[in-house]
């Protein structure tokens, strides 16, 4: 070891000794997330260094095995042409496949034990380990990290994060993907309350989107509700430090749920329900999932396991890896700019979404509320895709508006509807035909330098996202807009279809995309008019992609025509 040090470097044996001694200096260390954006999100301020004795909860993502095999199995159980279609894996099967090697488990546990980590908890798949350490211990363990206290967001949320990159012993490079709880801040809502459109006279008009408007537009009858007698269930997940109130849900159903059978209460809340004011987005998610997927048992993941040093979305992923019985449909309104996330994090989260798909879970993510997005790279503008909307293993939901905002008419693009092409994930095979057709036939393509034409394209489907009524803090609030509205609506409809499938002895729909694209969007209203927003410059003048016949990167295949969609999806 002395000879190695005299040469200014450390050999393999010295590096191993350094690992056990918690030394991560020089050439014996590496940065798992060198590309993680560490700029402070707007609205957040530092309160200074964290107390060295303050307790932190950090999550260590352990390297998985057989990820390629997992990908093959997802394809097999999700493709209607496969003999394995619908034969989903149990959580234990997934665990047997991806569980880290014994060497990985031993190395990481020994390293954490030597650092003084305590109260460590794993998950069924053993690929995450969450431990408690003091700030002092964490800064010694993760070289370069320096924990600060922050406050920000509309709810004055508190968080403990490091503004500096962290490094791990190089001996762990093949064992740890990333450490959660250092950089990524809790998300903030992009939901908007738009000004009420002006109109003269109200004969034959509606005054905003309610459950009855949705059910009429998408052709649901009073009989299109759950039976209340199956093991069918659905869930929404919330990570915004805001909560729904049971009394708001009851009032919403009293005002707007009189024309259909529904459940008046959430069946299960996973996580912590705050005692403060209700949040509009949390209220919206629950109210419209439970009115679209009417009379179906509903769970709410409410900032699950939240601690100031934890990442709420990551905690939700851990819960999915630790429960064998889960709702069949999950709707999520969370997203981050792809470029703000490290490659290690984004690839690992994608595997977590793959694990859910293998188990037959339908994950729907909002496509975002910034159109194509925009950012500047080396002085040139580009569109800005969102993740997890861009993951090839989720169904992404865009947004539409009524052509006439006061009449139940055909739909056009809602200009905020997120969509585009991933800069991280290549185009999956299931959408090759649809995306190629759009790129070769669309008369309104933006300049090719603005997007990665070979990337995973999204959204996959859409629903109304403009002008919703929501009850929050006992007050009916009009004209709430965002893909956070369209996502639970589409999810609720899929839950109704699952109900029919389960009653016929069929498995739930699972990961929908391979079937959706193979059937060319059958059962959906094609949205062919409108464009979404993008960069405000002379080159594109605020216009991103435009909708057209068939699939497009603004509204996907279109919005649900429930009877036709049910007919298309009810049987294998």
Marked catalytic residue, from 281, 308, 338, 466? 281
Q: How far apart are CA 121 and CA 294, in angstroms?
A: 37
Query: In this structure, what token pair is assigned to residue 186?
Result: 């809790």
Catalytic site includes residue 484: yes
Task: Tell me: is residue 527 an annotated ligand-binding position.
Answer: yes
96 Cβ neighbours under 8 A, 6+ residues apart:
none
Angle, CA of 193, 384 and 186, to the nearest 5° = 60
**Is 414 one of the catalytic residues?**
no
Catalytic residue among 367, 386, 417, 484: 484
Kindly name the residue from 224, 285, 466, 533 that is annotated as catalytic. 285
552 appears as a binding residue in the annotation: yes
Bridge partners for 44 per DSSP: 152
d(CA 290, CA 225): 10
- Preceding amide of 251 cis, omega within 30: no
Residue 408's alpha-carbon distances to 82, 258, 333, 401, in angstroms, are: 40, 19, 25, 10
HEC per residue, 85-151? CCCCCCHHHHHHHHCCCHHHHHHHHHHHHHCCCEEEEECCCCCEEEEEEEHHHHHHHCECCCCEEEE
Write down the number of H helices and E strands in the chain.
15, 30
What does residue 251 show for φ and ψ, rounded to 5 degrees? -65, -40
Q: Token pair for residue 28?
A: 């014996």
What is the distance between the alpha carbons of residues 411 and 527, in angstroms, rounded to a whole number?
6
Q: Annotated catalytic, 285?
A: yes
Residues of each annotated binding site for Ca(2+):
526-527, 550, 552
Binding-site residues sit at 526-527, 550, 552
Which residues participate in catalysis according to the annotation?
Answer: 281, 285, 484
């Amino acid at each position: 070891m002395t000879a190695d040090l005299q040469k200014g470097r450390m050999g393999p044996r010295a590096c191993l000794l350094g690992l056990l001694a918690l030394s991560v200096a020089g050439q014996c260390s590496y940065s798992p997330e060198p590309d993680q954006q560490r700029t402070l999100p707007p609205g957040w301020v530092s309160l200074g260094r964290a107390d060295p004795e303050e307790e932190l909860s950090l999550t260590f993502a352990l390297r998985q095995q057989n990820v390629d095999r997992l990908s093959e199995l997802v394809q097999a159980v999700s493709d209607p042409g496969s003999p394995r279609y619908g034969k989903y894996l149990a959580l234990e099967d997934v665990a047997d496949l991806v569980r880290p090697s014994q060497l990985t488990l031993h190395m990481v546990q020994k390293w954490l034990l030597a650092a003084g980590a305590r109260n460590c908890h794993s998950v069924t798949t053993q690929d995450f380990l969450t431990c408690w350490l003091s700030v002092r211990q964490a800064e010694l363990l993760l070289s370069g990290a320096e924990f600060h206290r922050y406050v920000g967001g509309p709810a004055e949320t508190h968080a403990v994060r490091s503004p500096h990159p962290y490094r791990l012993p190089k001996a762990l490079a093949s064992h740890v993907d990333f450490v959660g709880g250092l950089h990524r801040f809790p998300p903030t809502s992009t939901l908007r309350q738009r000004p009420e459109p002006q109109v003269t006279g109200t004969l034959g008009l509606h005054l905003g989107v309610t459950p009855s408007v949705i059910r009429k537009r998408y052709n649901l009858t009073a009989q299109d509700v759950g039976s209340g007698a199956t093991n069918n269930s659905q869930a929404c997940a919330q990570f915004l430090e805001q909560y729904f109130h049971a009394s708001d849900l009851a009032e919403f159903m009293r005002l707007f749920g009189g024309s259909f059978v529904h459940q008046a209460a959430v069946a299960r809340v996973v996580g912590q329900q705050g005692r403060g004011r209700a949040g509009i987005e949390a209220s919206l998610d629950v109210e419209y999932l439970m009115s679209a997927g009417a009379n179906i048992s509903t769970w709410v993941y409410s900032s699950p396991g939240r601690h100031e040093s934890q990442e709420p979305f990551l905690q939700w992923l851990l819960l999915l890896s630790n429960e064998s019985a889960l709702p069949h449909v999950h709707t999520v309104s969370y997203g981050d700019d792809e470029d703000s996330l490290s490659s290690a994090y984004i690839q690992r989260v994608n595997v977590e979404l793959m694990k859910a798909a293998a188990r037959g879970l339908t994950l729907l993510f909002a496509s975002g509320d910034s159109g194509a997005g925009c950012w500047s790279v080396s002085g040139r503008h580009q569109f800005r895709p969102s993740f997890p909307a861009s993951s090839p293993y989720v169904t992404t939901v865009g947004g539409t508006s009524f052509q006439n905002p006061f009449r139940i008419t055909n739909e056009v693009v809602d200009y905020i509807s997120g969509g585009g092409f991933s800069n991280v994930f290549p185009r999956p095979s299931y959408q090759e035909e649809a995306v190629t057709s759009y790129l070769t036939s669309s008369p309104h393509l933006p300049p090719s330098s603005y997007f990665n034409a070979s990337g995973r394209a999204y959204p996959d489907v859409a629903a109304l996202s403009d002008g919703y009524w929501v009850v929050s803090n006992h007050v009916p609030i009009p004209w709430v807009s965002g893909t956070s509205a369209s996502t639970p609506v589409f999810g609720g409809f899929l839950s109704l279809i699952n109900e029919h499938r389960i009653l016929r002895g069929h498995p739930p729909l699972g990961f929908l995309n391979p079937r959706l694209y193979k059937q060319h969007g059958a059962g959906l209203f094609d949205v062919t008019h409108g464009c979404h927003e993008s960069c405000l410059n002379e080159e594109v003048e605020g216009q991103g992609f435009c909708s057209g016949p068939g699939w497009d990167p603004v509204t996907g295949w279109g919005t649900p025509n429930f009877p036709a969609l049910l007919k298309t999806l009810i049987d294998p």
